[in-house]
Structure formats: C-alpha cells, structure tokens
C-alpha cells in the first residue's frame, strides 16, 4: 500500500491526484481543518502517532 504524508494542503491535493490515501500531519503551516478540507483521509497532530495509525500490514514494513 502506498500513502502520501504531508503537512500542507498541496500535499493532500497531490495524494488525491496520485490516487493514494493522504495523511495530514498538523505540524506545518496548515491546520487540521485545512488538511481535512483538502481531502486528508487522516490527520495526526504530530508524527508520534503515525505508526499506530497505520493498518497492521504497513506497521510490519516499518
């Protein structure tokens, strides 16, 4: 499975364009609300919860 992780609305647009799930991380210039409005499938406050948020098979790959 491929994912696109980013902290900007343009990253979420790129994820949609690429046809992959977008995970927004609200540590950059955009708020969680902006990331969701741009199409983020999931928004995290920071990367600390990143691994826990992944489906099981992806956790094994990290």
Mean pLDDT of 4-33: 96
> pLDDT, tens digit, for every residue of 22-38?
999 999 999 999 999 99
Closest CA to 34 of 3, 7, 52: 7
Order of strands, edge to edge, in the sheet holding 4-6?
4-6, 22-25, 42-44
Domain boundaries, the chain: 4-61
CATH superfamily of the 4-61 domain:
HAD superfamily/HAD-like (3.40.50.1000)
Residue 59 has pLDDT above 70, yes or no: no
- pLDDT of the residue at 61: 47
Helices marked H in 1-62: 9-18, 32-37, 50-53, 56-61
In contact, 26 and 6? CB cutoff 8 Å: no
pTM for this one? 0.83
pLDDT at residue 56, rounded to an integer? 65
Q: What average pLDDT is seen over the chain?
A: 88
């Amino acid at each position: 499975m491929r994912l696109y992780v980013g902290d900007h609305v343009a990253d979420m647009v790129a994820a949609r364009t690429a046809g992959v799930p977008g995970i927004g991380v609200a540590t950059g210039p955009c708020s969680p609300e902006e990331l969701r409005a741009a199409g983020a499938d999931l928004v995290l406050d920071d990367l600390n919860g990143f691994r826990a948020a992944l489906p099981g098979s992806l956790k094994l790959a990290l």
